[in-house]
Structure 1
């Protein structure tokens, strides 16, 4: 009795399209294709330790195969903690973190992202911080700090300048909320 094998049929044209998208998003695919799948990135990756299905080694491999749909259907790339350990240990200088960022940009353009990403972007645009902790003003006051930190969130003029800069980025094209 023969065991049934799952086969993924690779479409070279589809692979090329995805690679072109990654290139446009800042990931040199030539470098990506240098990966020897040694697994050093996976050994240091908190995503792998957290049990995410697609941790960095699998993300690199799927990208090399042009499997864009995996990233649109699975939110693992959004689990990256930006620790850059994968970059530090890569013997081929692949820059896996840059790949994660490029894939996120591709997913963002397809609106394939967790809802908290949209909330974070909205906070970032409106207030200059992606994560706004409720009651932060009171907590700051309790420890003798001004209610507003000396960042964009507490400086109206700088916040408006920051928003003008944000309007000149790709966010203006694809933001799932108004940039007014």
Structure 2
């Protein structure tokens, strides 16, 4: 495997772009792996989610990842954000990178159903986990769009106004 040569200007550009797209906490990441430990996408085998995506972005691999389909494996469950000890909000970093991918029309065809679900419910994949959340001391209702009609409408507006909306999926 060839060595990665880090270019400070490329790293600055990568970080600036991800922050401009909504991943404002990306620089707070200390690569502890808490996000990846609870991520259903990582557990399902998507290699570039949470910690690994942030690592690659912090190495300046912004454009090199454009064809990476793993980012579309994020289920928008928000577990990563709930457990992050640094306040990175990894889900926002993933979604920021997805915004870039969508602007380049680089998304996995397997992501179509997930995108349609996201548009309709506010989550790419959603399961009612209230009893399990309570069992571990969390509120039954996660602080997500699944329980917030206004947030769901905002997601629909964002998707409608994005390059994804131009594809006619929704």
Please, what TM-score do these two structures have when normalized by structure 1?
0.63
Aligned length: 137
User: Residue 171 of structure 1 is aligned with which of 139, 142, 162?
Assistant: 162
Structure scoring higher RCO (CA < 8 A, sep ≥ 6) equals 2
* Residues 71 and 103, structure 1, Cα contact 8 Å, conserved in 2: no
Please, what TM-score do these two structures have when normalized by structure 2?
0.66
Between structure 1 and structure 2, the one with the greater Rg is: 1
Which aligned segments of 4 or more residues in structure 1 are displaced greater than 3 angstroms?
116-124, 165-170, 176-179
2:80 corresponds in structure 1 to 86
TM superposition shift of 1:175? 2.2
- The alignment partner of 1:33 has SS state of helix
* Residues 32 and 94, structure 1, Cα contact 8 Å, conserved in 2: yes
> Which runs of 5 or more structure 2 residues have no equivalent in the other structure?
122-152
> Which runs of 5 or more structure 1 residues have no equivalent in the other structure?
131-161
Change (3 A) 1:121 1:93: closer
CA distance in 2, matches of 1:66, 1:172: 24
1:9 corresponds in structure 2 to 5
Change (3 A) 1:120 1:6: closer
1:109 corresponds in structure 2 to 103
CA distance in 2, matches of 1:97, 1:167: 16
